[in-house]
């Protein structure tokens, strides 16, 4: 077993100039086919951020509605503040991409500038946010579907799981395949939102209010003032639209060369599109004097007001439903890369660092799907159960990343570093305040689970790291080992009868060892005694030159008697290397494996558990040529 205890390469990290380093290394063309272009990166990694325009403005409106029509007048100022924070984050993550082209986002920044423990907090917060994003996105998309077709409401959990299976299957084929599959829905959604904003700006009033007709208003009565706390809560609620902004920086290695430059272009394009859509929608809310109503989304009312209750209205609704359901793809693009970095740093099992042929971290994809499925079942497919847990993790990650970048500028001190550090410091202040406000306001609604889960994840990372450290010390990794020497070898071959498999097993054993012992386990039952006597008689007739040793077992156990014999053999021959060679057949067809008795697996498990012997499993393939 090979255990890689090494650290990820930092050769590509820049010195803080804001431009990606040019190392002269380019990925081979064959590998680049399975990596992202800038446009594909928007489809693969920005769906979470794009889809947030469906609930970001609504979150602001629902908070300000408590202050009545007067409070609604602050929708645009709050949105502009969020857009300013978005600009700060985009500029910051553009620098993060340049300085950390190996990906990892806030985890990589914190690891380099704030210490290992802080980096683990950032990683844990990102993992929680990514997992919750999958569950929230899928349930929100299915909620839009069941709103249009109420008869499906009772089957929402199964529909959620079906959507999750679809997104998982596409991502197992590769990040480029997922980008191609989701490019059209992304384009339709962005195009319909931008068209709605443009058309709405030319309207003097709403074309239609049919979608809100008959629904109770959620607007407060009689309020004439808006307090700072209410504006702060509205700002924090609207910051849910910023989730997903960090995904591009986390998945830089998924882009084609030059990966950092492509990722930077994707980050800027994402920020520009998201900012335009958020500001445009908030302008329309004020222009149409929109009032939040129960049971109808703000986006649906805006589509009704701009386009009228016609085909264009349903295009917006359908595109929103599809994109919300597929927004989980952002997590599938970013989290497996982050988990691979954690695995390379010995904070997660190394299996998460493995890649498949299409540059897919399949173990990370499957793990994310399984945990998300459990969340969907636990929540009953209800978005409201999951939303209070959402976005807290990403604010923590934002804050840590911004603080780390301040340290980065202070340490590197390129030209104009004071302005860049001030920008990141201001962003850290805003995201930190938002994290505190969101956690405090949603603590009793379920946010306490995040407060508990975050330190538990960090403790888990630490425990895994200690385990790998202990393994490394036992293996003396990093030291030059002693020269190899030859020991006497004893090979034990379990047998149950004479066959071609037995002959090949003894051939292999005599090639491997100095001494070969054939061992069979017998039972006192009459029918078993007859089988044992027949084997002994046939063995004497065959005369293979290998001693047959019989082990008696009163309980019909197979593995324990063999393991006990191997243990005694090792004790009586302390200078010898004991090897257990287990002969097994391998059928030509997968279904035929169900016909096997699995004795080999039983013996291997018992020997591995109770002894230090080497286990060798000899496969005899059942094919047409073998007959």
Residue in the block written with tokens 């329309």: 284
Task: Please indicate, yes or no, if residue 341 is contained in any of the structural domains.
Answer: yes
pLDDT band at residue 26 using 50, 70 and 90 as cut-offs: very low
pLDDT band at residue 391 using 50, 70 and 90 as cut-offs: low
| Contact assessment for residue 588 and residue 621, using Cβ atoms and an 8 Å cutoff | yes
CA atoms within 13 A on the CB side of 59: 26
Task: Please indicate, yes or no, if residue 4 is contained in any of the structural domains.
Answer: no
Same domain, residue pair 392 and 534: no
Same domain, residue pair 357 and 505: no
Same domain, residue pair 50 and 167: yes
Q: Which domain holds residue 212?
A: 38-468
Same domain, residue pair 500 and 379: no
More confident residue, 535 or 25: 535
Same domain, residue pair 410 and 498: no
Same domain, residue pair 461 and 492: no
| Contact assessment for residue 433 and residue 37, using Cβ atoms and an 8 Å cutoff | no
Same domain, residue pair 117 and 235: yes
Q: Is the pLDDT of residue 31 over 80?
A: no
Token pair for residue 512? Answer: 């491997």
pLDDT band at residue 34 using 50, 70 and 90 as cut-offs: low
β-strand 547-552 against 488-494: which pairing, if any? Answer: unpaired
CATH of the domain at 310: 1.20.1740.10
Same domain, residue pair 546 and 457: no
Q: How far apart, in Å, are the Cα atoms of 547 and each of 487, 536, 540, 617?
A: 21, 11, 10, 20
Q: Pick from 468, 500, 535: which residue ends a domain?
A: 468
pLDDT band at residue 627 using 50, 70 and 90 as cut-offs: low
- Rounded CA-CA distance 138/142 in Å is 6
Q: What is the 3-state secondary structure (H, E, C) of 45-112?
A: HCHHHHHHHHCHHHHHHHHHHHHHHHHHCCHHHHHHHHHHHHHHHHHHHHHHHHHCCCCCCHHHHHHH
- Rounded CA-CA distance 557/300 in Å is 68
DSSP class of residue 345 equals: T
More confident residue, 482 or 538: 538
Q: Is the pLDDT of residue 157 over 80?
A: yes
pLDDT band at residue 221 using 50, 70 and 90 as cut-offs: low
Task: Provide the CA 544 distance to its chain's centre, in angstroms.
Answer: 55
Residue 456 has what pLDDT? Answer: 93
Q: Pick from 420, 439, 468: which residue ends a domain?
A: 468
Mean pLDDT of 321-326: 76
More confident residue, 263 or 627: 263
Span between the terminal Cα atoms of the chain, in Å = 34
Task: Please indicate, yes or no, if residue 274 is contained in any of the structural domains.
Answer: yes
Q: What is the pLDDT of residues 97-118, one digit of tens each?
A: 877 777 777 888 888 888 888 8
Is the pTM value of this prediction over 0.85? no
Residue 187 has what pLDDT? Answer: 85
Cross-strand partners of 577: 489
| Contact assessment for residue 211 and residue 301, using Cβ atoms and an 8 Å cutoff | yes
Residue 5 has what pLDDT? Answer: 42
- Rounded CA-CA distance 510/491 in Å is 8
Q: What is the pLDDT of residues 230-250, one digit of tens each?
A: 777 777 777 777 777 877 887
pLDDT band at residue 8 using 50, 70 and 90 as cut-offs: very low
Q: Which of 104, 113, 88, 95 is nearest to 16 (CA)?
A: 95
Peptide bond into 483 cis (omega under 30): no
Residue 459 has what pLDDT? Answer: 94
Q: Which of 556, 564, 558 is nearest to 523 (CA)?
A: 556
What percent of the residues of the chain are helix, what percent strand, and what percent coil, each to the nearest 5? Answer: 65, 5, 25
Task: Please indicate, yes or no, if residue 543 is contained in any of the structural domains.
Answer: yes
Phi, psi of 398 (to 5 degrees): -55, -50
CATH of the domain at 511: 3.40.50.620
| Contact assessment for residue 106 and residue 400, using Cβ atoms and an 8 Å cutoff | yes
- Rounded CA-CA distance 104/123 in Å is 8
- Rounded CA-CA distance 41/99 in Å is 19
Kindly list the strands in the beta sheet with 488-494, ordered across the sheet, starting from the edge strand earlier in the chain. 547-552, 515-522, 488-494, 576-586, 614-621
| Contact assessment for residue 71 and residue 285, using Cβ atoms and an 8 Å cutoff | no
Same domain, residue pair 420 and 501: no
DSSP class of residue 36 equals: B
Task: Please indicate, yes or no, if residue 289 is contained in any of the structural domains.
Answer: yes
Residue 508 backbone class (left: φ over 0; alpha: ψ -120 to 50; beta: rest): alpha
**% the chain with pLDDT above 70:** 85
Token pair for residue 103? Answer: 């990906």
Task: Please indicate, yes or no, if residue 494 is contained in any of the structural domains.
Answer: yes
Token pair for residue 154? Answer: 């009772």
Compute the mean pLDDT over every residue in the chain, rounded to the nearest whole number.
79
Q: Which of 363, 325, 373 is nearest to 182 (CA)?
A: 325
Task: Please indicate, yes or no, if residue 492 is contained in any of the structural domains.
Answer: yes
Cross-strand partners of 432: none
Count other C-beta atoms under 10 Å from residue 371's C-beta.
Answer: 16
Token pair for residue 112? Answer: 């380099």
Q: Is the pLDDT of residue 173 over 80?
A: no
Same domain, residue pair 211 and 170: yes
Count other C-beta atoms under 10 Å from residue 479's C-beta.
Answer: 8
Residue 18 has what pLDDT? Answer: 44
Same domain, residue pair 111 and 44: yes
Token pair for residue 327? Answer: 């927004």
Cross-strand partners of 492: 517, 580
Q: How many domains does the chain have?
A: 2
Same domain, residue pair 52 and 177: yes
Residue 308 backbone class (left: φ over 0; alpha: ψ -120 to 50; beta: rest): left
Task: Please indicate, yes or no, if residue 2 is contained in any of the structural domains.
Answer: no
Residue 14 has what pLDDT? Answer: 40
């Amino acid at each position: 077993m090979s255990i890689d205890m090494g650290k990820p390469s930092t050769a590509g990290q820049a010195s803080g100039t804001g431009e990606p380093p040019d190392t002269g290394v380019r990925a081979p063309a064959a590998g680049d086919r399975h990596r992202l272009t800038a446009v594909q990166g928007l489809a693969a990694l920005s769906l979470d951020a794009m889809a947030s325009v469906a609930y970001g403005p609504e979150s602001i409106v629902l908070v300000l509605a408590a202050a009545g029509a007067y409070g609604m007048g602050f929708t645009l100022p709050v949105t502009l503040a969020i857009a300013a924070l978005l600009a700060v984050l985009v500029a910051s993550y553009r620098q993060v991409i340049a300085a950390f082209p190996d990906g990892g986002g806030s985890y990589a920044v914190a690891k380099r500038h704030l210490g290992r423990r802080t980096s683990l907090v950032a990683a844990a917060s990102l993992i929680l946010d990514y997992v919750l994003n999958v569950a929230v996105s899928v349930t929100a998309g299915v909620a839009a579907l069941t709103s249009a077709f109420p008869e499906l409401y009772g089957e929402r959990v199964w529909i959620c799981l079906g959507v999750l299976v679809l997104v998982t299957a596409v991502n197992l084929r590769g990040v480029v395949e997922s980008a191609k599959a989701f490019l059209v829905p992304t384009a339709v959604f962005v195009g319909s939102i931008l068209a709605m904003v443009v058309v709405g700006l030319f309207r003097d009033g709403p074309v239609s209010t049919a979608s809100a007709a008959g629904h109770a208003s959620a607007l407060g009565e009689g309020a004439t003032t808006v307090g700072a706390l209410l504006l702060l809560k509205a700002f924090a609620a609207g910051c849910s639209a910023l989730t997903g902004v960090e995904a591009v920086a986390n998945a830089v290695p998924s882009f084609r060369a030059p990966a950092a430059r492509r990722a930077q272009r994707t980050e800027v394009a994402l920020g520009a599109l998201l900012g335009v859509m958020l500001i445009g929608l908030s302008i329309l809310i004020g222009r149409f004097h929109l009032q939040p109503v129960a049971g109808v989304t703000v986006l649906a009312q805006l589509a009704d007001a701009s386009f009228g209750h016609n085909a264009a209205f349903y295009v917006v609704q359908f595109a929103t439903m599809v994109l919300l359901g597929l927004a989980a793809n952002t997590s599938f693009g970013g989290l497996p890369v982050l988990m691979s970095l954690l695995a390379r740093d010995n904070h997660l099992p190394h299996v998460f660092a493995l890649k498949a042929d299409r540059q897919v971290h399949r173990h990370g994809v499957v793990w994310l799907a399984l945990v998300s499925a459990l969340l969907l079942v636990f929540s009953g497919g209800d978005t409201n159960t999951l939303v209070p847990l959402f976005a807290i993790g990403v604010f923590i990650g934002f804050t840590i990343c911004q603080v780390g970048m301040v340290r980065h500028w202070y340490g590197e001190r390129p030209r104009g570093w004071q302005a860049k550090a001030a920008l990141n410091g201001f962003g850290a202040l805003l995201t930190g305040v938002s994290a505190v406000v969101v956690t405090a306001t949603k603590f009793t609604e379920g946010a306490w689970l995040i407060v508990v889960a975050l330190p538990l994840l960090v403790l888990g990372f630490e425990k895994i790291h200690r385990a790998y450290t202990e393994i490394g010390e036992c293996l003396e990794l990093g030291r030059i080992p002693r020269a190899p020497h030859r020991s006497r070898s004893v090979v034990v071959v379990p047998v149950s009868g004479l066959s071609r498999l037995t002959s090949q097993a003894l051939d292999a054993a005599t090639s491997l060892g100095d001494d070969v012992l054939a061992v069979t386990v017998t039972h006192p039952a009459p029918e078993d005694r007859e089988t044992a006597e027949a084997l002994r008689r046939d063995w004497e007739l065959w005369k293979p030159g290998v001693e047959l040793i019989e082990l008696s077992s009163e309980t019909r156990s197979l593995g324990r008697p063999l393991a006990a014999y191997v243990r005694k053999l090792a004790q009586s021959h302390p200078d010898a290397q004991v090897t257990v060679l287990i002969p097994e057949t391998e059928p030509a067809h997968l279904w035929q494996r169900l016909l096997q008795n699995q004795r080999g697996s039983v013996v291997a498990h018992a020997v591995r558990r109770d002894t230090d012997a080497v286990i060798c499993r000899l496969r005899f393939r059942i094919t047409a040529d073998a007959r």
